[in-house]
Chain A
Amino acid sequence: MSLEHVDDYPEIPVSLASTRTMLKTGAWRSVRPVLTERTAPCTTGCPAGLGVPAYLDDITAGRLDRAFLSLTARNPFPRITGRVCPHLCEDGCNLPIRTGDAAVSIRSIERWLGDQTADVAHPQPNPPTGKHVAVVGSGPAGLSAAYYLRRSGHEVTVYERRAEAGGVLRYGIPDYRLPAPIVASEVARLRNMGIDIRTGVALGADVTLADLEATHAAVFIATGAWQERPLEIDGAELLESGLAFLESVNQGEARVPGPHCAVIGAGNTAMDVARVLRRLGADVTVLYRRTAAEMPAIREEYEEALGDGVTFEWLTNPTAIDKNPAGLTVTVETMRLGEPDESGRRRPIPTGETRDVRFDGVFAATGETADLSPFPPFMQTRAGNLDVRPDGATRDPLVFVGGDLATGPATVIDAIVAGRRAARAIDHQLGFDARWPMDELSEPVAAAETNPTYITRRARTDSPPVATVDPFDEETRTLTTGEVLGEIERCMSCGHCNACRTCFVFCPDGAITWDEGPVIDHEFCKGCGICVVECPGHAMILINEREVSHA
């Protein structure tokens, strides 16, 4: 525009072009805002290190395929963990610290994503490597290892001793928490990747370790911990195994000894046994020698058991079991709490006070151990445990192990991580790149760095309980899409830009333009840092200009 005549002028002193083109005020800057990808506390909380804010962002943007891919790069089974994971991710959430609001319901979102992508095929494996790897056991560790080994391009055969694949997912976790058809469909999806899953083949009985080593480039063993730890009390032979009971129920062969049942122990298996018995119509009393504060069960499962009407007898230690004409008599001793033991929990100390209680059946669920009989003695330590490195390697260079077999009873996600870690180690062992992410996570975004001012504040939405006719139908439902999107709005997206536009709105100079995400015009940005302060998840940081120019 020419300004040769007064009539050419605007009425007010306004820049005739966008100010960015005129004023190179970036030269004033001593610090610059930079968009970064930082670790969220939910990610560090997750044993698998899942980048939660990133896949939540993908969901909001409608990129479900990408969300599925980024999730399955670390955990192939969101449908399963979305139902049974103890969601340690949520424990790390900055939202409660910053606002007092409940944590974002990440597990419910993961479940929704899992269900939405239930029919999405897993990615094509890499080109064949010519290597054949055996996986023994088809629980979460075995299936996870099989998945990653297959994606690496190896030929994979899974050996499962039972009739159906899934291990603890199929035979341990009750249907109302994890329906069998979901496990079956996940197994089917793995078969579609070209994974050969052979059921009815038991290690030791049908095939030996030596056989497998002779025909495969590597063997991964994850046969779980299925042996009930023996209870050394009089009449222990009258006890029923909690794990075996769950297994029979999951095969549709439930047999309840009578209307009054007891469960000894207060771990996660004990909770499942107690709840299943309740659902089959029995009165259930959990006998535990310590108190609720020391119980190993995940809090949520304990609360669900309470909700089902399970009775808990604390400081109650069974010392003997005997038959009576109508059923069983359990002699219990009242305990008191002493000093903490090596696990950090207060030790139960006998008081000498005993009483007799009558039940129709008593189930033991005081812990499970692994069957190590298929392993030759050289692979075991003097104490009788397998000698295992963190990546699953053993004293036999061809053999890797993982899951409950190696660690004792742990969570599904721990087993999935063990499978991925072993797949990576096997890749490496076979001369390939270690392909599956096991990177060290950096320090997560601290609560004090976040800014909850502009996020949507509303009550947390969890997968809600539903009324069912069959007590073994799934007890909760998957959130609706609307509920999920609403729940994601609560997330501050720590360390990940989810294109919320807060920086764009607050930049006082209009130095931020938008191209799917913020684009900082460094010719113009004066480095005031307002974007960094306003960014809800602190996905922007200020760096010194000197660091940039010297970089």
Chain B
Amino acid sequence: MRERLLLTGNHAAAYGAMLSRAEVISAYPITPQTMIVELLSELTASGRLDAEFITVESEHSAMAACVGASAAGARAYTATSGQGLALMHEMLHWAVGARLPIVLTNVSRAMAPGWSIWSDQSDILSQRDVGWMMVFAETVQEAQDFVLWMYRVSEQVYLPGMVGMDAFILSHTAEPLIVHDQEAADAYLPPFEPIYDLDPAEPRAYGGLVNRDHYFELRYKIYESMERAGSLLREAGEEFGEVLGRRYTPLEGYLLDDAEYVVVSAGAMTSNVRQAVRDLRDRGVKVGLLRVIAFRPFPITEVRSLLGGRRKVAVLDRNMSPGHSGIFAEEVRSALFGQPDAPPVYGYVVGIGGRDVRVETVVDVVDDLTVREEPEMALYVGVKGLPIGPLRRDSQITRLQPLEVQP
């Protein structure tokens, strides 16, 4: 039976795993994710969810357990955050190479040190090149629904999927949540059929040594599957609308039609961007919002068509790749490069380590965007004592001390 409840993002993620009928859950607690697996352990213990809950001593083992379970044909789920995701890194690769459609919810938090549990996209984006599909939730509803959406596509392309959601802003904030009817969820997500059965009667090596004459081809198939996942994400998002009443797309536009300026954003801070866009429209600024939902595979063609011909594009990054720029900005810039109607892309780094990204912050960014003449790789918003602007140039920072050469 369909229910409408007031729940946090974390509990919504747990409901997502339950509606997906996850069969094996293995996780290690870490703030701000712990509530997800707490609720799942309760749901499992009470019998409401028919799953094996495997407790482990680390996130590396949690993913290893999911790898084993998935290889054996079980639908496996885990959740983690920040340092935990980093510790899982090796096994994240394994899930990809072994083609295991595991789904993971990552509650994004800043990386230590300094020790921080607050919202920041650096942890999940550090896993960009591993080969997991990645989607970013904005709402409690999406924190639940994206788990189903990921399984639906993962199990078609045999690649794992990650749902990113923001620490506290989403994980610990309660919003109305529609918990779908289980039968409807079942209709959307049929049982998992593993790519190969593990058969003790015919032992085989899985994930063993592959020499130079074969590795490339196996990887090529992964690249191809990830490409295929792009169109499947769209189809599965449409299906979600048909079966469960909510349609999802890799990208979402807001007031884009006539927008001269576009703000690109991902995750929970997008809600404030939406409000800022409304406020700025009231002031007569022709601004719109492009929300990136699917980050891997990256919707390159749609980004090109939705941003082509605009006057300026601002990309908000709650993350930073030191020595380059915010990672979303990098991705958008790269998608637009060489397009005849490519607009200039201005990267704005905001809200690092959980600092608030308020409606006013976004308004400040758009005000800066409209007047700034040259696009910058990264413009830092809200660093104490500094205006919005690029990193200080050489003349403004301390120089290397010359070596004292002994005679």
For residue A19, CB closer than 8 A to chain B, the reply is yes
Interface assignment of B405: CB less than 8 Å from any CB of chain A: no
| Chain A, interface SS category | loop
Could you tell me the distance between the alpha carbons of A509 and B203 in the complex, rounded to whole angstroms? 8
Which residues of B sit under 8 angstroms from A3, Cβ to Cβ? 213-214, 217
| With known contacts A6-B221, A510-B200, A14–B206 Cβ distance under 8 A | yes
**In whole angstroms, what is the CA distance A23 to B208 when docked?**
11
For residue A431, CB closer than 8 A to chain B, the reply is no
Across-interface contacts of A373 in B (CB, < 8 A): none
Q: Please pick, from B200, B202, B203, B206, the residue contacting A12 in the complex, using a CB distance under 8 A.
A: B206
Residues A18 and B221 in contact in the complex (CB < 8 Å), given A9-B214, A12-B97, A13-B208: no
Closest A-chain residue to B100, C-beta based? Answer: A12
Q: Please tell me if the beta carbons of A13 and B218 are within 8 angstroms of each other in the complex.
A: yes
Whole-angstrom distance between the Cβ of A515 and the nearest chain B Cβ: 14
Closest beta carbon of chain B to A366's beta carbon, Å: 65
Residue B291 lies at the interface, judged by CB distance under 8 Å to chain A: no
Cβ of B210 within 8 Å of any chain A Cβ, yes or no, is: yes
Q: Chain A residues near B371 (CB, 8 Å)? A: none
Evaluate contact between B203 and A510: CB separation under 8 angstroms: yes
Taking CB atoms and an 8 Å cut-off, the chain B residues in 206-223 that contact chain A are 206-208, 210, 213-214, 217-218, 220-221
Knowing A18-B202, A510-B200 touch, does A12 contact B217 (C-beta < 8 A)?
A: no
Task: Give the distance to chain B from A10, nearest Cβ to Cβ, in Å.
Answer: 8
Q: What's the minimum C-beta distance from A238 to chain B, rounded to whole angstroms?
A: 77
Q: How far is the CA of A17 from the CA of B203 in the complex (A)?
A: 9
B99 partner, pick from A11, A15, A509, beta carbons under 8 A: A11
Contact of B217 with A9 in the complex, beta carbons under 8 Å: yes
B149 interface residue, CB < 8 Å from A? Answer: no
- The answer to whether the Cβ of B397 comes within 8 Å of any Cβ in the partner chain is no
Pairwise interchain contact B204-A12, C-beta atoms closer than 8 A? no
Which residues on A sit within 8 Å (CB–CB) of B158? 11-12
How far, in Å, is A27 (CB) from chain B's closest CB?
16
For the complex, give the distance between the alpha carbons of A12 and B204 in Å: 12
Bound complex: CA A178 to CA B148 (Å): 72
- Residues of B in contact (CB 8 Å), total 21
Total A residues in contact with B, Cβ cutoff 8 Å: 17
B112: interface (CB < 8 Å): no
User: Which residues of A in the span 1-39 have a Cβ within 8 Å of any Cβ on B?
Assistant: 3, 6, 9-15, 17-20, 22-23
Q: Which residue of B lies closest to A511 (CB)?
A: B203
- Establish whether residues A18 and B204, one from each chain, have CB atoms under 8 Å apart when the complex forms: yes
B206–A18 CB distance below 8 A: no
Minimum CB–CB distance for A148 against chain B, Å: 47
B205 touches A14 (CB 8 A): yes
B256 within 8 A of A: no
Q: Which residue of B lies closest to A23 (CB)?
A: B205
The verdict on A12 contacting B208 (CB below 8 Å), with A6-B217, A18-B202 known, is: no
CA–CA, A140 and B272, complex, Å: 99
Min distance, Cβ B90 to any Cβ of chain A, angstroms: 16
Q: Are B208 and A15 in contact (CB under 8 A)?
A: yes
Which residues on the B side are within 8 Å of A23 (C-beta)?
A: 205
Measured between beta carbons, the chain A residues less than 8 angstroms from B195 are: 11-12
- Which of A14, A23, A510 has the most CB atoms of chain B within a 10 A radius of its CB? A14
B196 at the binding interface (Cβ < 8 Å): yes
Chain A's closest residue to B225 (CB) is A11
Does B359 reach chain A (CB closer than 8 Å)?
Answer: no
Give the residues in chain A near B217, CB-CB below 8 Å: 3, 6, 9
- Cβ of A10: which chain B residues have Cβ within 8 Å of it? 196
29 contacts between A and B (CB under 8 A): A3-B213, A6-B221, A9-B214, A9-B221, A10-B196, A11-B99, A11-B158, A11-B195, A12-B196, A12-B206, A12-B207, A13-B97, A13-B206, A13-B207, A13-B208, A13-B210, A13-B218, A14-B196, A14-B204, A14-B206, A15-B205, A15-B206, A15-B208, A17-B204, A18-B203, A20-B203, A23-B205, A510-B200, A510-B203
Q: Which residues of chain B have a CB within 8 Å of any CB of chain A?
A: 97-99, 158, 195-196, 200, 202-208, 210, 213-214, 217-218, 220-221
20 further A-B pairs in the complex, CB-CB below 8 A; given A17-B204, A18-B204: A3-B217, A6-B220, A6-B221, A10-B196, A11-B195, A11-B196, A11-B221, A12-B99, A12-B206, A13-B97, A13-B206, A13-B208, A13-B218, A14-B204, A15-B206, A15-B208, A18-B202, A19-B205, A19-B208, A509-B203
Residues of chain A at the chain B interface (Cβ within 8 Å): 3, 6, 9-15, 17-20, 22-23, 509-510
